[in-house]
Amino acid sequence: MKSIFTGNIEKNSKTWLAFLLFILLAKAPFAQSTVTITDADLGSGTYNWTSDKTYLLDGFVYLESGGVLNITAGTVIKGLATPSTGDNASALIITVGAQINASGTAAHPIIFTSELDDVSDPSDLIASDRGLWGGLIILGDGILGNSSPTSNIEGIPTTEPRAEFGGSDNDNNAGTLKYVSIRHGGAELAPGDEINGLTLGGVGSGTTIEHVEVFSNLDDGIEFFGGAVNVKYATVAFCGDDGFDWDLGWVGNGQFWFVIQGADEADNGGEWDGAKPDGNAIFSNPTVFNATFIGSGTGSVTAKNTNTILMRDATAGTIANSIFTQYAHKALEIEDLPAASGVDSYTRLQNGELNLQNNIWFGFGNYTTLDAHPTTGIIRFTSGGDDTVCTDLINHLTTNENQITDPQLNDISRTPDGGLDPRPGIASPVTTSLSSYPADPFFTTVTYKGAFDVDGTPIWISGWTALEEYGYVAVTTGIREVETSDALTVSVYPNPARDVIHINYSIEKPGTIHLEIYDLAGHVVSRMAYEVQSNNNKITWDAKGLARGSYLLRASSSSSVHVTKLFIQ
């Protein structure tokens, strides 16, 4: 047989070798380049960070007034633990007058994390890996409830003039954060002095922040200092200190906030302060709806969990339609200790400036009663306060329909076992006794308490968070089957179907049946509701609008859910 190398063996051998190398390189992933960013690399210009590179923060990096930083979806930014610059930590600081535009997507979030984090390996770092770098700080010239119009942000040396924030513009626009995950930060600068995961100082309502996560920060998760920024769809998980904090006259809005705290280390779910001094004419007065705060667990012995919520320094505000559960100690302290100004947070409550409306409180160890009894009551009274039995607070909670009742969340897990599903079950009491929503376009009117819709609805922390990537979140499609005493059976034919679906279902009691078809990403593609009287029912559903593929059909009654697979040819 004639050799294929006839004529020039050396030349053809090189050709084949080159061809094999081309095939191997074509199949190998391209390594991303790493760009080191120091303070000298940002100023007052326009900068673009893109997902084909990894950006390494070396020390405190300031985007200065007039500067614009655009970060594309899928970009990873990492912080050095030991900067070469001599700074105590690595952090990104957006100064007053600058803008950050970090617009990720659910499929391609923007990730801020430690240099030690291999983002392609979800098991290399764990929830207790905190304080590995600094954090993200955004500053604006919003109004402060402070002894002076401006202040220096905590976590940065007071000698740094670019860390000053505050002013007179609560409408300022510091940019956009969408689908941003901030992980493993909170480096300790000195004993007891750490950086929050996301710090918002004097940030105005022109700023957009939604779908943001802080995961495993050594200090607080998200903290507001003055200003009027609004935050929606925010999650804080396994941070070493508090979940959400506010201070210095923050007057923004919040909706759909989720906190879960680790059993090893955590303090309050929320530490909410009014102003400095307490009697300042400008004080914190935000409006927060639909929060779900899950503490360290009633059996935790190492996490502080001092209070679920601590309100002090004469804060006001409205907290409504929310769930607070599974804390190691008491649920609520509203500081009753008037300063020289004669006002405190308890006074705000008595004056109608502080309102807790239609919230669920449940699971505080041995503290089960709606009073301030030292061994059984969920309320912690302030030592030395005027109302030592908290009569006015108890009356307020009762009048405003706060309840001690089990919210019946599906699953609570603080380990990466796929067991975390903080949605209320189908029979949960979260759909009754709701406060009306403010006439503000920021708020989404929903028919449930807490950060998540009832069982069966796709969960908004799925798909882009470290909570899911690390294996905590239970459901990816958002569909969960629950069987209870109200028997509900469903059958579909033909299956696979093409143009028409025939659905038979049986239910023991008359009522409303909700039928929904979900794609495998968890999105509702069709929805119908029927009032039924008889036990056996049949529906013919037009399927012409559905593309070929696999779906889930979810049928629910008042207390049961049935899920079945559906195929469209």
What sign for the dihedral angle of Cα 560, 562, 563, 569?
A: negative
Residue 18 or residue 330, greater confidence? 330
What does pTM read for this prediction?
0.82
* CATH 2.60.40.1930 segments of the chain: 488-568
State the CB neighbour count (10 A cutoff) for residue 401: 14
Q: What are the CA-CA distances from residue 41 to residues 49, 92, 97 (Å)?
A: 12, 12, 18
pLDDT at 513: 74
Q: Rounded to an integer, what distance in angstroms lies between the CA atom of residue 70 and that of residue 4?
A: 55
Q: Rounded to an integer, what distance in angstroms lies between the CA atom of residue 362 and that of residue 367?
A: 9
285-298 mean pLDDT = 98
pLDDT at 456: 59
Percent of the chain at pLDDT > 70 equals: 88
User: Is residue 393 a contact partner of residue 379, using CB atoms and an 8 Å limit?
Assistant: yes
Kindly compute the dihedral angle of the four CA atoms of residues 147, 220, 451, 488, in this order, to the nearest 10 degrees: -160
pLDDT at 523: 62
What's at 259, amino acid-wise? V
User: Is residue 483 a contact partner of residue 475, using CB atoms and an 8 Å limit?
Assistant: no
Residue 489 confidence class, pLDDT cut points 50, 70, 90: confident
User: Is residue 263 a contact partner of residue 302, using CB atoms and an 8 Å limit?
Assistant: yes
Average pLDDT, the chain: 88
Query: What are the pLDDT digits (tens) for 413-438?
Result: 999 988 899 999 888 999 999 999 99
pLDDT at 371: 97
Query: What are the pLDDT digits (tens) for 33-51?
Result: 999 999 999 999 999 999 9
Q: Could you write out the DSSP letters of every residue in 457-490?
A: SPPTTTTTSHHHHTT-B--SSS------SS-EEE
Query: What are the pLDDT digits (tens) for 356-368?
Result: 999 999 999 899 9
pLDDT at 9: 33
| 244 pLDDT higher than 90 | yes
| 310 pLDDT higher than 70 | yes
Q: Could you write out the DSSP letters of every residue in 393-420?
A: HHHHHHHTT-EE----EEE--SSTTT-B
| 349 pLDDT higher than 60 | yes
Question: Exposure of 523 by Cβ count < 10 A (0-12 exposed, 13-18 middle, 19+ buried)?
Answer: exposed
Report, at the CATH architecture level, how domain 488-568 is classified. Sandwich (2.60)
pLDDT at 20: 38
Q: How many Cα neighbours within 13 Å face the side chain of 483?
A: 6
Q: Rounded to an integer, what distance in angstroms lies between the CA atom of residue 165 and that of residue 353?
A: 27
| Contacts of 432 by beta carbon, 8 Å cutoff, 6+ apart | none
pLDDT at 455: 64
| 457 pLDDT higher than 70 | no
Torsions phi, psi for 269 (to 5 deg): -65, -40
483-498 mean pLDDT = 68
Tokens 């002894």 correspond to: 147
Q: Could you write out the DSSP letters of every residue in 334-352?
A: E-----TTS--HHHHHHTT
Query: What are the pLDDT digits (tens) for 107-143?
Result: 999 999 999 999 999 999 999 999 999 999 999 999 9
Which of the residue ranges 100-104, 171-175, 190-194 would you say has the lowest mean pLDDT? 190-194
pLDDT at 94: 98
Query: What are the pLDDT digits (tens) for 509-521?
Result: 777 777 778 766 5
| Contacts of 155 by beta carbon, 8 Å cutoff, 6+ apart | 91, 134, 135, 137, 189, 193, 194, 195, 196, 199, 219
Query: What are the pLDDT digits (tens) for 49-58?
Result: 999 999 999 9
Q: Rounded to an integer, what distance in angstroms lies between the CA atom of residue 529 and that of residue 239?
A: 42
Query: What are the pLDDT digits (tens) for 433-452?
Result: 999 999 999 999 999 999 99
pLDDT at 526: 76
pLDDT at 23: 37
State the CB neighbour count (10 A cutoff) for residue 11: 9
What's at 46, amino acid-wise? T
Q: Rounded to an integer, what distance in angstroms lies between the CA atom of residue 555 and that of residue 507?
A: 11
| 4 pLDDT higher than 50 | no
User: Is residue 203 a contact partner of residue 185, using CB atoms and an 8 Å limit?
Assistant: no
Helix (H) or strand (E) holding 23: helix 9-27
Please write down the long-range contacts of 33-40, taking CB distance under 8 Å and 24 or more positions apart. 37/61, 38/84, 38/85, 39/85
| 226 pLDDT higher than 90 | yes
